Structure 1
Amino acid sequence: MAKVLYKVVYYYFRALSRASYILKPLFLASVLGGIMGALSSPAKAEPPGDSCNWQLTFSDNFDTLDRTKWNTVWPQYYNGSLHLDGRVRRQAYYPDSNVQTAYDPNVNSNVLAIRTAREDTIVDWLNNAVYRYTSGTINSETKFSQQYGYFEVRAKLPTTKGSAPSFWLMNFSKNLADEIDVVEVPGLQKGLEVVQNIHWEKNENPHYHLLSDGDTGSKYRTYGVLWEQDRIVWYIDGQEVFRSPNKMSSISMSLVLSNEVDGGPGNTFYDDLTQGNYPLLSLFDHVKVWSKTQQPCKNTAL
C-alpha cells in the first residue's frame, strides 16, 4: 500500500507542475486525505424533478479561472459597507494568488482551489494595518445573476477553527441584505455539520444538518438549492435535507465561493481562529445553475 501511495503522489506532483508552486504542498495534503478509500460522491449535475423542465443558464467546471464569469475581489458594496479595494473582509486579506485552478487526481480534472493561510499582509490604505490571515473568493457580481432556479456546487470543503468555506447567493446592493447560503461549513462544527440559511431584512432561518457519512473534507459532495417564489429547498448529494418559506425580496442574486476567516475565544460559529490548522484548501469541482422553463415535457411513450 505504501508503494502504491508513493507512486500516486509522485505522478500527482508531475501532473501538478502546470499549477502554481504555492499549491503543491497543500494539494498533497488533500490527496493524502482522499486517496485511502474516501471516494467522492457521484456528480449529480442536474436539478430535482423532470430534466425537461430545466434550462442550464450557467456552468463552470474550472478547467481554468474564467474571468469573464468571475471576479476575484469582493464587490464595492457589501451589506452597506464600502470596500475600497475589495481585498479586505472580516479578519483576512484576499489576494488573487489565493484563487487558482489545478489538477486533482481524485476527480481526474482541474478544480478551483481557494487557499486560506496564516500569514501577514500590511494594508497601506488602512494606515498600514496588519491582517494575520489570507484567503480567497470569487463572485459573479456584474457578470451573472439570476432570480429563482436551481443552484449547485460540487465541492470538498475541509474546515478548521476560524474558517467557513461556503457557496452562497447574494444581491450586492447597498441597501439589501438578502442572502441564500447553499452550503456553509463553520469551523466550530469541524466539518461534521453544514449550515443552510436564508437571510432577509436582518432576519435569518439557519438549519444545521449533521452528515451521516464523514465530514465535508473527506470527499467531494454535491450541494444544491431550489429557489422558487414561495419556497427554498436545500439538497445534499441529491437528497432533500431542509426547506423554508421564501421571505426575501424579489431580486436576482449573484454567485459567491469563499472561505471567510473570523472568530475568537468563545465564538459560536467560527470558533477561535488562533487555534486553527492552516494552511487550508477549499476545492470546487463545478458550479451550475438552471432556470425553470415554461415548456411542458414531451410524451415520449410509444
Structure 2
Amino acid sequence: MAAKILIAVSFLAIASPAAAQDELAPAPIELTLHIPHDAPGERCIRIESSDPRPLRPVALYRTFHDDFDVGPLQSGRWVPHYAGAVTMPESFYGGGDASAPEHKNRYNGEQEIYVDPTYRGRGTIPLGLDPFRVKNGILSIIASRTPPALKQVLFNGEYISGILTTQRSFSQKYGYFEIRAKIPVGVGVWPAFWMLANDGGWPPEIDVMEGRGQRPGDVVMTTHWRIPATGVVEHCGFDFSVANAWMDFHDYGVLWERDRVIYFIDRKAVSEIKAPASFEDPMYMIVNLAMGSKDFGGVGFVDVCSPDKVEFQIDRISAYQIDPRSEETAAK
C-alpha cells in the first residue's frame, strides 16, 4: 500500500475477565451500546475509560447471526473465496495458472493458499482440502503447512488456510458488526475480521480486528478510506493489548453510523473516527487466517519457527442494524 498520511498507533489494556471467561455467551437479538454524545472530530482518537464526555445509547436489532452449530459451508451464509470484486471468485478460483498466488511479491506478502473442499489448484479435480472445523459450536479456521505431495499442484504455497466471506449472502450499510474469537499467535500468523464495500471497490475497508502473531494479545482496529478529490488512500487506527486474547474469547466489534465509525472490545468503545465521505456502499464481512506478511508489523514471513498448524477459533459472528429511534435521539 502507498504511504498513509493519518496514522495513529497506541496501546490500551483491556480488563474484562468475566467477558473473557464466559466463552459461549449468546448474541442477543437486541443490543444497546453506549457511545460519546458529541459529534466526532476530524481525526481518529482513542476513547479512554476516563473520557469525560457524556454517553448516549444506540439501540440495535440483529440482522445476521452464525453461532456455528453447523459447518460454515453448509449454512449458506458464507463462501470460501478471497475478498475482491464481486466477479473475482469465479475468475480467480477457477483452477489452473490463474489461481497462482502472487501476494508475496506483488501485494502484502501472504504465503498461504486459501482452499476449500472444491478447490482444484493446478489440477482438474477437487483436492478435498477443508480448513474449517466445527466442534461444540466453535468454528476453527485451520492453517497448516502444505503437504509435500501437493506442493506443485498448490503453486508451491507454504501453507493452506481458509477464508469466509458473506459476499453473496449479506451486506449492510451502517450498523454494528461483531466477532467473538480467540486470537492465535505465532511467527507469520495473521488472523482478521474485516469488511469491504459490496461494489467490489477498495477502499473503503474496515478492519474490525487483526492480530499480530508475534505479539500475543496485540489487536489492531483500523479504518481505510480514499479522499474523493485526490484519490489518495489514507488509514487511521490503533493497537490494543487484550489480556490472554489467545486463550480467552473476547468480543471485537465496530459500529458504523452516518457520522462516525466506533470500535469496541467486549462492547466497550475504545476508539472512533469521523466516517469518511467515501463510505457510501453496503459492506460485507470477511474472516480469515492468513500466514505471512511483508508490511503488517508483528507478523513477518513464515519460517522454521512458525507453527505447523494453527487454529483461529470463532464462537460467533453477528451483525445488527441501528434502530431508527436511536438516530432520532442522536439528532436532538
Residue 161 of structure 1 is aligned with which of 178, 182, 187?
A: 187
Paired AA for residue 133 in structure 2: Q
Contact 2:250 2:265 in 1 (8 A): yes
Distance 1:283 1:81, change over 3 A: closer
Aligned to 2:218: 193
Specify whether residues 55 and 160 from structure 1 end up closer, same or farther in structure 2 by C-alpha distance, changes over 3 A only: same
For residue 224 of structure 1, the aligned residue among 243, 248, 253 is 253
Deviation per residue, 1:134-154 (Å, 9 max, x gap): 111111002100011011111
The share of aligned pairs that are identical, in percent, is: 24
Indicate which of 297, 322, 328 corresponds to 1:292: 322
Count of residue pairs brought into register by the alignment:
247
Amino acid at match of 1:100: R
Comparing 147-156 with 83-92, greater Cα deviation is found at: 83-92
Match of 1:100 in 2: 133
Q: Call closer, same or farther: CA 1:84–1:296 in 2, change over 3 Å.
A: closer
1: CA distance between counterparts of 2:302 and 2:172?
34
AA at the equivalent of 2:264: Y
Gap regions ≥5 residues in structure 1? 1-37, 104-109, 298-302
- Contact kept? 1:146, 1:253, Cα under 8 Å: yes
Equivalent-residue separation in structure 2 for 1:292 and 1:123 (angstroms): 49
Q: Aligned partners of 2:70, 2:203: CA distance in 1, in Å? A: 31
Q: What root-mean-square deviation, in Å, do the aligned CA atoms of Structure 1 and Structure 2 show? A: 3.0
Encode CA deviations 1:80-100: one digit per residue, 9 max, x unaligned.
999610775631112220012
Q: How does 1:60-209 map to 2 (within 5 A)?
A: 60-65=66-71, 66-75=74-83, 77=85, 84-85=92-93, 90-96=110-116, 97-103=130-136, 110-120=137-147, 121-122=150-151, 124=153, 129-171=155-197, 173-189=199-215, 191-201=216-226, 202-209=233-240
162-171 or 140-149, which deviates more = 162-171
Counterpart amino acid of 1:209? F
CA distance in 2, matches of 1:91, 1:77: 21
Q: Which structure dedicates a bigger proportion of its chain to helix?
A: 1
Q: Kindly tell me: are residues 101 and 129 of structure 1, through their superposed partners in 2, closer, same or farther at Cα, counting changes over 3 Å?
A: same
**TM-score, normalization by structure 1:** 0.72
Matched, 1:48 2:48: no
The CA deviation string for residues 147-196 of structure 1, in whole angstroms up to 9 with x for no partner, is: 1101111111212111211111112544432111111101232x221000
Verify the 8 A CA contact 2:194 2:209 in the aligned structure 1: yes
What is the CA-CA distance between 1:43 and the residue it aligns to? 3.1
Contact 1:41/1:222 (8 A) holds in 2: no
* Structure-2 separation of matches of 1:207 and 1:245: 15
Per-residue deviation, 1:290: 0.7
> What's the CA shift string for 1:103-152, capped at 9, x where partnerless?
2xxxxxx111100112244465xxx7211111111110021000110111
Report if aligned partners of 1:112, 1:284 keep a CA contact under 8 Å in 2: yes
